[in-house]
Amino acid sequence: MRDYVQTAATAARIAEAQARYVHTIDDGNCVEWPEFFVDDCFYMVTTADNFAQNLEAGIIWLDSKAMLHDRILSLFEANVYERHSYRHMIGQPFITSIEGDEVECESSFMVARITREGPTMLFATGRYIDRWRLTDEQALIVKRIVVLDSGYIDTLLGFPL
């Protein structure tokens, strides 16, 4: 029972942090996205096939919070693309391990893309394979591997997943 309470409380904290994560990317200030991560974080976007075959390169491969910052900066300052936005739906975190203040979990996601010409379309589905660090004050991502279900990416991948 005690384990259940601990797991449920942990899941609730992560779910709350992910709700803020989604709000920040989809409706808030995307520039604040790196603030969900620890300084020496790891963030990667790959596909289920590559992940299953242990292929190590990603579509996005960032190993510091500074690189996350740079990614957002480049999207707003340097890269060229038609105006579009994402809408994330993130499922409940499935807690797979709790060790001290570090938690491993997985969450499913769906992301719709909204473009200038044409209706909303389903852009990506997949799962986050995460390691979080939970302290009394904060819940931060140490490692997030974004595993896309499909190996096909339509047009381009810009904003964070």
Which range, of 15-23, 67-75, 91-99, 137-145, touches other proteins by CB under 8 A? 67-75
The answer to the question of residue 61 lying near other proteins (CB under 8 A) is yes
The answer to the question of residue 56 lying near other proteins (CB under 8 A) is yes
CB of 145 closer than 8 Å to CB of 46: yes
CB of 111 closer than 8 Å to CB of 87: yes
The answer to the question of residue 91 lying near other proteins (CB under 8 A) is no
| In 45-115, alpha helices (H) | 48-52, 65-77
CA quadruple 145, 149, 152, 156: dihedral positive or negative? Answer: negative
Rounded distance between C-alpha atoms, residue 8 and residue 92, angstroms: 11
The answer to the question of residue 77 lying near other proteins (CB under 8 A) is yes
Taking the least distance from each CB to other proteins, the nearer of 45 and 95 is 45
For 31, phi then psi, to 5°, come to -60, -25
Q: How far is the CB of 47 from other proteins (least distance, A)?
A: 7
- For other proteins, the binding residue among 16, 29, 81, 96 (CB under 8 A) is 81
Which range, of 18-26, 79-87, 103-111, 134-142, touches other proteins by CB under 8 A? 79-87
Q: How far is the CB of 150 from other proteins (least distance, A)?
A: 9
Rounded distance between C-alpha atoms, residue 144 and residue 137, angstroms: 20
Q: How far is the CB of 81 from other proteins (least distance, A)?
A: 6
Give the other-Cβ count within 10 Å of 155's Cβ: 11
The answer to the question of residue 32 lying near other proteins (CB under 8 A) is no
Give the other-Cβ count within 10 Å of 57's Cβ: 8
User: Contact positions toward other proteins, by CB under 8 A?
Assistant: 45-47, 49-50, 55-64, 66-67, 69-71, 73-74, 77-82, 117, 151-158
